[in-house]
Chains A and B, each alone.
Chain A
Amino acid sequence: MHDAAKIVGGLVLFAAVMTSPFWYNALTAAPAAVPALDPPPNGSKECVEPRAYMRANHMDLLNEWRDLVVRTGQRDYVSTTNGRAFDMSLSRTCLDCHSNKAEFCDRCHTFLAVNPPCWDCHVEPKEAP
């Protein structure tokens, strides 16, 4: 092979870059466990919408709530599943059950490197000592 050193060097670099996630995962100390969330501490059993919907789409719901509250002043939300009315409020409704930000919000968000801008405006809930 001509220019073998350069070509093999390039191929080694290519293979190293391509397999880097495998090396990284193998060499980092403890793998991050897939977050499993605990039920809310206040014993509530249902959210404003079904669990599967909330898991995938909660950011849409929060965005919709924010727009309605801030732009139209509307605060009542009627659940599409059980017809119950809720106050459209992150700090009063959501955080009422999901009171622990570190345990509830941050676990998935850190796992996935998501940085939502919620706490740019809202005051972070104080953790119970």
Chain B
Amino acid sequence: MGAVISLVAVAGLALVAVIAVAVGDLRFLIGVVVPGIAFVVFVVGVACRVVRWGRAAVPFRIPTTCGQQRSLPWIRNEELDNPSGPLGAIGRMAGEVLLFRSLFRNHRVELSHGREKVSYVASKYLWAAAMAFHWSMLVILLRHFRFFLDRVPAWVELVQRWDGFFAVGVPVVYLTTVVFIAALLYLLLRRLVDAKLRAISLPTDYFALYLLLGIAASGVLMRHVEKVDIVQVKAAIAGWASLQAVTPAGVGGWYFVHVLLVSVLLAYLPFSKLLHAPGVFLSPTRNLANSNRRVRHVNPWNPPIVGRTYAEWEEEFHDKLKAAGYPLEKE
């Protein structure tokens, strides 16, 4: 059900863009104003979320430990899986952010019918698709800098050259385009095909996938099928990134579909599961060193401990103690 709702939502958004441009002639609104608002919402929204997370108390180290902690010098410790200091924690975070290390440990529960036995099998497909998707999205994002930057720097051309290494077709079909769409389709089909996953998938899970697929599809259409006047596209985007409002002219409906979907993605990000992008950096089970035993951690909101010495106590009850015949230290 969630799959259908989300599909309708994304298709509706695309339709809104088409109608707004074809009927209402709202090129300026969809091409300049909406992306501007979306961009501000994205940057400010992410910053607010991160600050909110940052205010949460960290009274104690709670890293998940998957290896031997540092203890006696002759016991070998696992620095990446049980970091003892900031360096290990940074290494662990790098593995997490760049290589999705904990997803690599993904296991699947399987019931083999013949043997009536439950088994846990290593499942790397999710990891592989996630890696393929995220890394190709980074490259695609970097490639798009040729539209945002007035004068295209050499590194963008380098990215383009290697991404189009196989020189298939004109304009060149980029490797990341193919990998991006294939990975997204796998991530979508995985939710649709497996009954267990279908049961736990929410509309928001599908919405992000459809949105990204819609962005990819409209982009591919503009580049390879219904080609647009790319000079006007760059004039509009580079103008936008120079804070000059240039109304996109003569670029066709797909451009506005692309721009509106990207704007929705940006504005949606700070309020959705896509916040895992900044969130991964603030996961306390990953970014903290396991120093619970070596370093004294004091709970920050503990009230100050007011001590009372024996001498003070004796002073207070001096007369009573004396009357009862107790031996007193101060006499």
Contact = CB atoms under 8 A, between A and B. Distances in A.
Interface of A: 1-4, 7, 10-11, 14-15, 18-19, 21-22, 24-26, 28, 31-32, 34-35, 52, 55-57, 59-60, 62-63, 108, 110-117
A19 B152 contact: no
B58 interface: yes
A22 B241 contact: yes
A34 B171 CA distance: 21
B230 A56 contact: yes
A22 B227 CA distance: 27
Nearest to B151: A32
Contacts of A3: 54, 58
Contacts of B148: 21, 25
B170 A113 contact: no
A70 B157 CA distance: 29
Interface of B: 39, 42-43, 46-47, 50-51, 54-58, 145-146, 148-152, 156-157, 160-161, 167, 169-171, 227-231, 234-235, 238, 241-243, 250, 278, 281-282
Contacts of B151: 28, 32
A56 B227 CA distance: 6
A113 B156 contact: yes
Q: Is the interface of B mostly helix, strand, loop or mixed?
A: helix
A26 to B, nearest CB: 7
28 contacts: A1-B51, A1-B54, A2-B57, A3-B54, A7-B54, A10-B281, A15-B47, A18-B39, A19-B43, A21-B148, A22-B241, A22-B243, A25-B148, A25-B241, A25-B242, A26-B242, A26-B243, A32-B150, A32-B238, A34-B234, A57-B227, A60-B227, A62-B170, A63-B170, A112-B230, A113-B146, A113-B157, A115-B160
A113 B152 contact: yes
A117 B234 CA distance: 22
A25 B149 contact: yes
Contact of B229 (A32, A52, A116): A52
A18 B43 contact: yes
A59 B170 contact: yes
A116 B172 CA distance: 9
A116 B167 CA distance: 10
A32 B150 CA distance: 6
Which of B42, B57, B228, B238 lies at the interface centre, i.e. has the most chain A CB atoms within 10 A of its CB?
B238
Interface centre among A59, A60, A112 (most CB of B within 10 A): A112
A109 B261 CA distance: 27
A11 B47 contact: yes
Contacts of A26: 242-243
Contacts of A63: 169-170
Contacts of A21: 145, 148-149, 241
Given A32-B151, A57-B227, A112-B152, 14 more contacts: A1-B55, A10-B281, A11-B51, A15-B47, A18-B42, A21-B148, A25-B148, A25-B150, A34-B235, A56-B230, A111-B234, A113-B146, A115-B157, A115-B160
Nearest to A60: B170
A100 B282 CA distance: 56
